[in-house]
Amino acid sequence: MSGNPALGRGVLGAYGAPSFAQAFIHGPAISVLQGIYAKFFGLSLQEIAFVILISRIFDAVNDPIVGFLSDRYRARHGTRKPWLLAGSLIAVIACWFLYVPSGEVTMWSFLFWYLLADIGWTVSEVPYSAWLAEISDDYEERARITTWRTMGRFLGLQAFFGLPIALQSITGSTDFTPETLRWAAALAAVALLGTALVATLVVPNGRLREKSSGSDGSSSLVDAGRAVAGNRPLLSFTGMFAIGGLGAGIASGLSFFYIDGYLQLGEQLSVVMIISIPISLVATPVWGTLCRRFGKQQAWAVGYVGAGVASLSYYFIGPGENAALLLITALLVVNALIVVEAVAAPAVLADVVDYGRLRFRDDHAGSYFAFYAMVQKINVGIGAALGLLIAGTFGFDATVTTQSASGRFGLLLAFSLLPAAFLCIAAMWIWRFPIDRRRHAVIIAAIERRAAREIES
């Protein structure tokens, strides 16, 4: 324990609020956007895969720059709040044109608005995530903060997937359609800007860390690069997260195709997700408690193994009268287990930030969380692209109702078997992650002793 006072629920709620809006506005991009552009706007799976892949390559440049600049801004001005507000505004504008395209829809128009949306998401979300490491440096308190943020995230997803049901009297359907995305973009604009404003007004900036040569914002991009490349726990964290996240990225990119194109449950997609997502809300505080009691990496590893094994069940579910019930059951189990990542991963990374402070005598939280966000987006992008390419190569066709045997196998290989393998492999790595509760306490004590010596001198 670092001695930081526990945060009040009002502060925790205010910090978690932007996560609700971010999840809501991300909802289409992580689940149905690819399917809608293929089904309603005529883009091929290969074109969609190309756009997603390019956007992830773009993130490899965009994310580190934003993280570095937000670190410099924080060092000079003591806050990251303007980044959250500015990025939210950019995301609102870009997502309107991404989710509500006008005129002829081409691969290039899809790419342009996707990239601009990525800029908005990065500018707001990287500094927002780095803020976590500055609100508290207590090992257990960070798990509380991520618990609240994760609950906000799943409430946002719940709101998005419930949208078709709420709009049924207007649209006449519970399907996800271009009209659904129009409403999503409009509602997200209000939620994203409103919650960002609440967070900036209520949540403290967090204390400024020890003074150092770069604490006045003079550190260079090269310094940030060295702080990333020279942080061995960060590289270990990145490797284990990338492997598990790639499996989750493949599955998320194909969820619409599996449910709508394979199981023929397009009209029930919203209902299926509405029923399955609340388990994540219930499981989130349970995982938060387990992280605080048994250790973050231990809980994370156990959750990953369970989710991997449960993902195998998708392979054995086929079209038919029981498909919806079996799918909901599988989703309940997988969601209850995989949510541990959202609780544990950012809290573990916040501890890695402290190691970086000790090792490099400067606070590179923005750069570290940018690196994390970049890997997260690459996982989703490359995972989705890889899944689409595998399914398309084996002959899966989103425009037909009856798939070939080869097409079905390609979809199931990518949606069920590969994610299960990746999650289990990652779990073995996570279990052995070096910064546990004891080592984190040693790191914090060393930082505080050094700070005390510098004050005395």
DSSP annotation of 31: I
Q: CB within 8 A of 325, min separation 6: which ones?
A: none
Q: Which residues of the chain have pLDDT under 50?
A: 1-2, 212-214
Question: Domain for residue 18, yes or no?
Answer: yes
Question: Domain for residue 210, yes or no?
Answer: no
Question: Domain for residue 1, yes or no?
Answer: no
Q: CA 170 to CA 300: how far, in whole Å?
A: 42
Question: Which residue type sits at 101?
Answer: P
**Contact at 8 Å (CB) between 149 and 350?**
no
What pLDDT sits at residue 372?
Answer: 87
**Contact at 8 Å (CB) between 367 and 64?**
yes
Question: Domain for residue 424, yes or no?
Answer: yes
Direct distance between the N- and C-terminal alpha carbons of the chain, in angstroms, rounded to an integer: 26
DSSP annotation of 267: G
Question: Domain for residue 258, yes or no?
Answer: yes
Q: CA 193 to CA 100: how far, in whole Å?
A: 19
What pLDDT sits at residue 1?
Answer: 45
What pLDDT sits at residue 16?
Answer: 95
What domain range is 130 assigned to?
9-205+217-456
Distances (CA, A) of 6 to 28, 137, 143, 205: 35, 11, 12, 15
How do residues 436-451 score in pLDDT, each as one tens digit?
A: 989 999 999 998 888 8
Q: CA 317 to CA 23: how far, in whole Å?
A: 28
Question: Domain for residue 249, yes or no?
Answer: yes
Q: Choose among 342, 325, 205, 242: nearest CA to 283.
A: 342
Question: Domain for residue 164, yes or no?
Answer: yes
What pLDDT sits at residue 213?
Answer: 44
What pLDDT sits at residue 4?
Answer: 61
- DSSP percent split of the chain into helix, strand, coil, nearest 5: 80, 0, 20
What pLDDT sits at residue 127?
Answer: 94
The total number of structural domains that make up the chain: 1
Helices 221-229 and 365-393: angle between axes, nearest 10 degrees: 70
CATH number at residue 353: 1.20.1250.20
What pLDDT sits at residue 212?
Answer: 46
Distances (CA, A) of 271 to 265, 266, 276, 308: 10, 10, 9, 24
How do residues 355-414 score in pLDDT, each as one tens digit?
A: 998 998 888 889 999 888 878 877 877 887 888 889 888 988 877 777 788 988 999 999
How do residues 216-237 score in pLDDT, each as one tens digit?
A: 555 677 888 888 889 999 999 9
What pLDDT sits at residue 218?
Answer: 55
Q: CB within 8 A of 36, min separation 6: which ones?
A: 28, 176, 177, 178, 181
What pLDDT sits at residue 98?
Answer: 92
Question: Domain for residue 301, yes or no?
Answer: yes
**Contact at 8 Å (CB) between 4 and 138?**
yes
What pLDDT sits at residue 131?
Answer: 93
Q: CA 276 to CA 262: how far, in whole Å?
A: 19
DSSP symbols for 138-184: -HHHHHHHHHHHHHHHHHHHHHHHTHHHHTHHHHS-SS--HHHHHHH
